[in-house]
Amino acid sequence: MPTSGQNVQVDTAEVVVVGAGAAGLSLACRLGEQGAEGVVLVAAPPGPHAAPERTWCSWGSDDYWADAVSARWDRVSVQPHGGIARTYALAPLDYTMIRSRDYERVAGARLARAAVRRIEAVVSGIEDTAAGAVVHGAGLTARWVFDTRPTPPARPGRVALLQHFRGWFVRTREDFFDPAVAGLMDFRPPQPPHGVAFGYVLPTSPREALVEYTEFSRNPLTTAQYEAALADYAVLLGLPAYDVVGADRQGQQAITHVGGDLDHDDADVLGHGRLQRVGHVDLAVLVGLAHGGPLLDVVSWRTPNSYLTAGAERGTATSSSTVRHEVARCE
């Protein structure tokens, strides 16, 4: 298993996908199933460089990952701050939850059938050379390298807000949840200065749900602060006696370019030459709902370098994200 501190024999490949998160697995599966030869997926080995288990939720009607879906809803509720809750039918779409372990299981079977080679390595850098792209730490050189790992914003000073969150998987001791309706955004929690906070309630049975606290604000909270916010939210929901049976990954991502598009100065974040960044995301934040607005009142935000797929990765997906791979072959 190559690591960044070892001298390894350089192997060659046609395509290398760096990162085995949602975008990396999705891209490697698609390439392999379309008959691309010489595809290698580079995943981080178990340990500090590997991503923890996480949950992705998204709008979806695509059955490609159907075997990985752990829950699905065709109705969502939205609770404005101080207003009346509304329930919306999503047809022809629905809202789906995928646990990363299930996504990885389904992707692993697809990759095996497609003969995509998977190796484990800590990639220390990627160099674009005249002879091809060199993946340092993995002992690979390739004609094309797609780097799906998350990177900091191109210009941190332009970050307007962070989306940050933590969730609990809870089990109540009596029936409480409606498994047919996902609590998409609940804006009743106290609102932070210069930001917005909301809760999610994603029930998987009458007694089980993922309960998440999310903020859009300038600074993340400490774990203790997230835990306190979740405990307060459980009280606000009126949960009966319950047990926390698991915690969804605590995480954050930068939200940049408020109300605008990528400009020319940011083009480098999408890659150049034989090295391409993957995972460009359009994230529509339903801020209008906090004030009781209709479902389609949105404010658009763009983050050029998150590696989400079919809803998102990052820790957790947002219901309003749409994702596409940005790939520009340069001869």
Give residue-wise pLDDT tens across range 110-131. 999 998 999 999 999 999 888 8
Q: What is the pLDDT of residues 145-178, one digit of tens each?
A: 999 887 765 555 555 678 889 999 999 999 999 9
What's at 67, amino acid-wise?
D
Q: Contact at 8 Å (CB) between 29 and 65?
A: no
Q: What is the pLDDT of residues 56-84, one digit of tens each?
A: 888 875 688 899 999 999 999 999 988 88
Q: Which residues lie below 8 Å from residue 328, measured CB to CB, with a gap of 6+?
A: 270, 271, 276
| Cα 126 to chain centroid, rounded | 23
R_g of the chain computed on alpha carbons: 21
- Cα gap 316→165, rounded to integer Å: 8
Average pLDDT on 238-263 reads 69
Give the per-residue pLDDT at 93. 85
Q: Is the dihedral of CA 247, 279, 57, 299 positive or negative?
A: positive
Query: CB count, 10 Å around CB of 272?
Result: 13
**Distance linking the first and last C-alpha atoms of the chain:** 32
Q: What is the pLDDT of residues 302-330, one digit of tens each?
A: 233 332 222 223 222 222 222 222 222 22
Question: Which has the minimum average pLDDT: 81-90, 160-169, 278-287?
Answer: 278-287
Residue 238 backbone class (left: φ over 0; alpha: ψ -120 to 50; beta: rest): left
| Cα 46 to chain centroid, rounded | 20
Reply yes or no: is the peptide bond before residue 152 cis, omega within 30 of 0.
no
Give the per-residue pLDDT at 9. 54
| Structure tokens, 94 | 């629905």
Q: Of the candidates 279, 274, 293, which has an alpha carbon nearest to the alpha carbon of residue 23?
A: 279
| Structure tokens, 170 | 């809870």
Which comes out higher in pLDDT, residue 186 or 295?
186
3-state helix, strand, coil in the chain (%, to 5): 20, 40, 40
Residue 53 confidence (pLDDT) above 70: yes
Q: Of the candidates 17, 6, 5, which has an alpha carbon nearest to the alpha carbon of residue 119?
A: 17
Q: Contact at 8 Å (CB) between 299 and 36?
A: no
